[in-house]
Amino acid sequence: MLNRGGWRRPAGRRVLGLGAGVLALALSACSSSGSSGGAAPAPSGGPAAGGGSGTLVVDLAGGSGTVDPAQACGTFDVDFLSQFYARLTQYGSAPGPQGTTQFDPDNIKPWFAKSWTVSKDGRTYTFTLPAGAKFANGDPMNAAAVKYSLNRSITTGGCGSYFILDGLYTPALVKSVSAPDPATVVIRLNEADANFPQDLAQPAAGIVDPKVVEANGGVVKGKVNQWMQGHIAGGSGPYVLASYNPGTSASLQPNPNYFGPAAGSPKIKVNFIGDDSTLLLRARSGEADVTIGLSPQAAHSLVGNSCCKVVVNPTTMSLQIMMPGSHPPLNNADFRAALSYALPAQQILTKIGYGYGQLYYGPYPPLMKPEYDASLEAPRPYSLSKAKSLLARSGVRAPVKLDMIIDGSVPVSQQLATIAQASWKALGVNVTISTLSDANFETKINTNPKPYQLAVTTDGPGVIDAGYYLGYDMLCKSPYNAAGICVPGADKLLNQARATVDPARRLSLYRQIIPLWTANSPKIPVYAKDDITVLSPRVTRYFYADETTMWNWAAR
């Protein structure tokens, strides 16, 4: 959902908490970021100059529906296209588990930009670009291309717009983008925003070739460019597409004109595999070097096996049950609370999640610090008696029939739905499970008003910030409200917090949201999920990021 960036969410496999560091970075008066030298910055994630001699085989547990940075919402969309488009900024790196590295959302670094400065009021960003850069096809890659790319993502109004605008539409966060010369981009905001450097690190801000886009449909406000759905426009990132069979496979090769250091592998073969047992077999046999999206059960079966290394990264993603309040009786807070107490969350984490996660109940997952408060977001214990009491207080009379949609390509969703179905039957709540394809599920989730009663999804922030996350999760009048949640008092506090630049005041407002949110039980965050990646012994370098950065991976 953007977010997994929606839906999932403006992205997908989202991670790590965002502290005050980015806030200070964005609002430092006349601050400068990155080196001022002429050399292109190395992509984050460790040594950037090659490192592997063999073809890297990557298995993803889902296909890519689009390679257009302006439209990508789902996890696998964003993960895949990230390889082909550079952005002005990127995440820094930090040590990860088992000798790996991981991205650091508190450290935003230059990428295509050599450096940038911020005005005293935090509303004007001036980026300096390298001279002579080219797209993979040889066209000039300059300030005009950056301006075109950002304006295109904003204008088309897809998930990319949400990323770049940080979910701020009234007024729109970005006031203007200008290119006074080929090496300078000036972005003016309508208000200071602590997240903006991180917004520009999202794949939605990928730099496309204006010449290629204009030759293939151009930009039409509010419209999807169908050609861009399956083609790369110029190519500004470390890799280009050598071949692409949507939903099945793709072959990646290094961009011959990439402005930065060489990518880690001379060739990458990507397989889109929706079957968990096939993913497991290929990981165990060594046919895949990197496997992403295995179920916790399958990944756990590989722990201690010499075939591979199971790498676990805590994230701000969580397994959730959405309960849009637009559908009676789910518009009743006591009824929603009854469902939450009748769900055995600990059993689910143990039996389905195999312990790869952490229980909580509230608006902020445990890794979203400092906003998360363990004393206010304690897990809800399973209590059928309390659930029945709340159901009686709600005035909703059993039996009740509800429909729940799930993504059929996600094994955990099916397992959670089955447990919820069995558990809620004791309340007289009868659930029908509708299994959808990944594409149909994403469409349903992102449609407003919500055309479903219940949905199981993995959700988390694209831009890793509490305000951004709640911005698409509970804004009462936002067309981008993916969860269909409206808590008026919390909504007011959220708007105040997003407009506040003082860190202490901002944190205070976010913390005040927690009791209002939990009292309304707007959805069920079953548990915060760890990200699980399986690596073969051939892998010599692995960097975990919010969106995959395959150019930082290498194999023998």
From the CA atom positions of the chain, what is the Rg in Å?
A: 23
- Three-class secondary structure assignment of 491-524: HHHHHHHHCCCCHHHHHHHHHHHHHHHHHHCCEE
- What is the largest distance, in Å, between two alpha-carbon atoms of the chain? 70
Mean pLDDT of 224-229: 96
pLDDT tens digits for range 501-548: 788 999 999 999 999 999 999 999 999 999 999 999 999 999 999 889
pLDDT tens digits for range 107-162: 999 999 999 999 999 999 999 999 999 999 999 999 999 999 999 999 998 889 98
pLDDT of 493 above 90:
yes
Q: How many CA atoms lie within 13 A of 207 on its CB side?
A: 29
Query: What region does 128 belong to: left with phi over 0, alpha with psi -120 to 50, or beta?
Result: beta
153 close to 205: Cβ distance less than 8 angstroms? yes
pLDDT of 37 above 60:
no
pLDDT tens digits for range 259-304: 999 999 999 999 999 899 999 999 999 999 999 999 999 999 999 9
**pTM over the 0.95 mark:** no
Question: What token pair was written down for 72?
Answer: 């990508």
For 24, 338, 392, 425, the CA distances from 395, given in Å and listed in that order, are 49, 12, 6, 18
What does the pLDDT read at residue 274?
Answer: 85
Question: What token pair was written down for 202?
Answer: 């999202």
pLDDT tens digits for range 436-489: 987 788 788 878 888 999 999 988 888 888 988 898 778 888 776 777 888 899
Cα distance between residue 225 and residue 540, in whole Å: 38
Mean pLDDT of 212-230: 96
Render 366-388 in DSSP notation, one character per residue.
Answer: TTSTTT--TTTSPPPPP-HHHHH
Cα distance between residue 265 and residue 84, in whole Å: 14
Task: Provide the mean pLDDT of the chain.
Answer: 88
Q: What is the DSSP code (8-state) at residue 37? A: S
Mean pLDDT of 376-401: 97
